[in-house]
Chains A and B, each alone.
Chain A
Amino acid sequence: GAVVSQHPSWVICKSGTSVKIECRSLDFQATTMFWYRQFPKQSLMLMATSNEGSKATYEQGVEKDKFLINHASLTLSTLTVTSAHPEDSSFYICSGPGGQGSPDTQYFGPGTRLTVL
């Protein structure tokens, strides 16, 4: 299957600082990528759809000014958590479609664990 990487795999930051998480598709190009948030022992909740060359589409209830998404190229999408607070601590996962023939099949990155102190 397709490979998606995320960096960093974990990050600890102080409250009030901003953190950037990168999501890269290593062997396919993606005009669309997805960002999810997963709380401990819970399911994945879609936060936003990242669109290459245009604005991201956010799910209801997700603050677009807090979770900035940039999809600068066909292989890179970034999520920046601005002015992070402890309640933003979570596991953030990105995904991309599996390329030709399987546009509906998502391949997931390994996730980034964010801890805000």
Chain B
Amino acid sequence: AQSVTQPDIHITVSEGASLELRCNYSYGATPYLFWYVQSPGQGLQLLLKYFSGDTLVQGIKGFEAEFKRSQSSFNLRKPSVHWSDAAEYFCAAFIQGAQKLVFGQGTRLTINP
């Protein structure tokens, strides 16, 4: 079955430090991949997406993600986090056959001052 896995439930980093959030997918073909961010009580905001082409994609708020087919991964990165980046981050895959999004479990990011 198609699935998305985010191995880290909770990550804490210091403000100004670099960040990498992991995401792995299980799917026969290359799915469309997304990263969303959810602030407390808020809806999901799209950070970036990968459909095809350049495997390093740039998103909003200084985030980027790299698609690695050999590792079935789509990790999210940011070189220097800000306190406002504290939120829940969701990796998702659009399964074309089923025409629906499948979400990972989410990673809660805490920023230490």
- Residues on A facing B (Cβ under 8 Å): 1, 4, 6, 32, 34, 41-46, 49, 93, 95, 104-111, 113
Contact = CB atoms under 8 A, between A and B. Distances in A.
What does DSSP make chain A's interface, helix, strand, loop or mixed? Answer: strand
Interface residues of B, number: 23
Contacts of A93: 43-44
A46 B100 contact: yes
Given A42-B106, A43-B106, A104-B51, A34 B42 contact: no
Nearest to B10: A41
Contacts of A105: 34, 46, 49
A95 B101 CA distance: 10
A111 to B, nearest CB: 5
Contact of B103 (A43, A49, A104, A111): A43
B90 interface: yes
A110 B32 CA distance: 23
| Most chain B CB inside 10 Å of its own CB: which residue of A42, A105, A110 | A105
B36 interface: yes
A108 B51 contact: no
A1 B48 CA distance: 12
Contacts of B94: 104, 106
A34 B100 contact: yes
Contacts of A111: 41-43
Given A42-B105, A43-B105, A46-B101, A104 B46 contact: no
